[in-house]
Amino acid sequence: MQSIRHLPTLFLLVLLCATSHAAGVPSNDPAKPLRSAYALLDQGDYPRAYAAFLRQSARNPLAQFSLGLFHQNGWGRPADRDAACAWYAKAARGKIPAALHATGDCLMRTPDAPGNASAALASYEAAASNGHLISLCTAAEFYVRGRYVARDVTRGLGMCSQAALANSPPAMLYLANYLRDDADVPRDLPGARHWYQLAAERQMPEARYKLAIMQAQGEGGAVDVDAALAALEELAAAGYLPAYLPTATLYAHLPPDANTGAPSAAHLAKIYLWTSAAKARLNDPALLNQAEQLLAQVLAIMPPQWRTDLDNKIAVHLAKFAG
C-alpha cells in the first residue's frame, strides 16, 4: 500500500472508510466515534490521536486500520511494519477495503511462506469486491507475471481493465503503464495513450506526464508538441520533478528565431530555468549529465546579465518545493 505521510480527515474518510458498496452505508458507521481522533490527527497531535484510536480499537475496524497507518508511516513513533501488519489484519476482518489490500501487501512480504501468496491474492480480491478497485490491478500482477498462479496475461489485463472502466484513475494509470512499458504485456501504444488521457483528465500527475511524453514523441497518436509542452511546464511549475528536464528539452527543440538561428529570448530563458532546476534536484547520473550538457549549450549563447534574475526565480521555485 502506498505510504501516507499525512492526510486530511475528510480525505482519509473518503479513501479508507467505505466498508461495503454492495451493502450500502452501514447503520453503525465506524467513522462516527473517531471524529475527535481524526481531528487530533489533523492537528499533528500524534500521541493523543493514537491514544484516541486505541480506545476505540477493540471493536472498531477503522480504528484498527488507522493504528496500522501510525505504525507503517512512523506518525509520532518509529515505523514498525510488523505492528502495522498486525493492525491491518485485525481491520481486514472487519472488511475495511484498504485494510484488506494492506493485508495482502503484508502477506507478500514473505510470499514463499506456505499459503501466503494465495491468501494475499484472496485479500486483494476481497478488497476489490468491497470497493478498493485498484486492488484488481494488484491482483492482476499475479496473472500477468505468472507468479504463484498460472500465467494468464489476458485475465490479468481484464481485471485491471475492470477497475479502469469503473472510473478508478489509479487503475487507468496502472493499465496504461502495462500497455506502454511492460515487457510481459503486448505493447498497445494507442491503448496506453487513451488510458493516460483519461487518467490525466482526472488530474493524475504521472498520467499527465506520460501522456505529454507520448504527445511530444507521437507515440500512439499524432504529435502534439504544444499540448505536451503546456502540460509538462504546468507540472514542472507545480514541482513535479520528472517534468523539469523534458520541459527544458522541448523548449530547446522549438523552431529557432528566424533572425538569429538560435532559440528566442523567451525560450532561452525557459531552457535555462528548467534545466537549472532539474540539475539542482536530480540524482540520476544519466539525467544529470543531460542537464549539464544542455546547460552548457545555453550558457554559451545566453547573455550573462540574465543570470541574476533567473537564478533568483529558480531559488524561489526550489525553496517552495524543498523537502
| 256 within 8 A of 219, measured Cβ to Cβ | no
Domain 1-132: CATH superfamily is: Tetratricopeptide repeat domain (1.25.40.10)
Distance (Å) of CA 78 to CA 38, 71, 103, 164: 20, 7, 20, 36
Read off the pLDDT band of 27 (50, 70, 90). Answer: low
Mean pLDDT confidence for 66-88: 97
Cell of 157: 489485463
Per-residue model confidence (pLDDT) at position 9:
45
Enter the DSSP assignment of 262: S
DSSP SS3 for 91 = helix
241-250 confidence digits (pLDDT tens): 999 999 999 9
Give the angle 266-270-276 at the CA atoms, nearest 5°.
145
C-alpha cell at 288: 544529470
Q: Which three cell numbers stand for residue 44?
A: 499533528
Coil, strand or helix at 37:
helix
116-120, 258-262, 311-315: least confidently modelled range: 258-262
Average pLDDT over residues 88-92: 97
Answer yes or no: is pLDDT of 169 > 60: yes
User: How is the chain split into domains, by residue range?
Assistant: 1-132, 134-223, 242-323
pLDDT at 16 over 80: no
- pLDDT tens-place string over residues 269-281: 999 999 999 999 9
Are the folds of 1-132 and 134-223 the same?
Answer: yes
Buried b (16+ CB within 10 A) or exposed e, 119-149: bbbbbbbbbbbbbbbbbbbbbbbbbbeeeee
- SS3 state at 197: helix
- Tell me what the mean pLDDT of segment 74-97 comes to: 97
**In angstroms, how far is CA 213 from the centroid of its own chain?**
17
pLDDT confidence of 262, banded at 50, 70, 90? confident
Residue 261 confidence (pLDDT) above 90: no
CATH superfamily of the domain spanning 134-223: Tetratricopeptide repeat domain (1.25.40.10)
Please, what is the Cα angle at 12 between 241 and 321, to 5 degrees? 20
Amino acid at site 206: E
Grid coordinates belonging to 58: 477493540
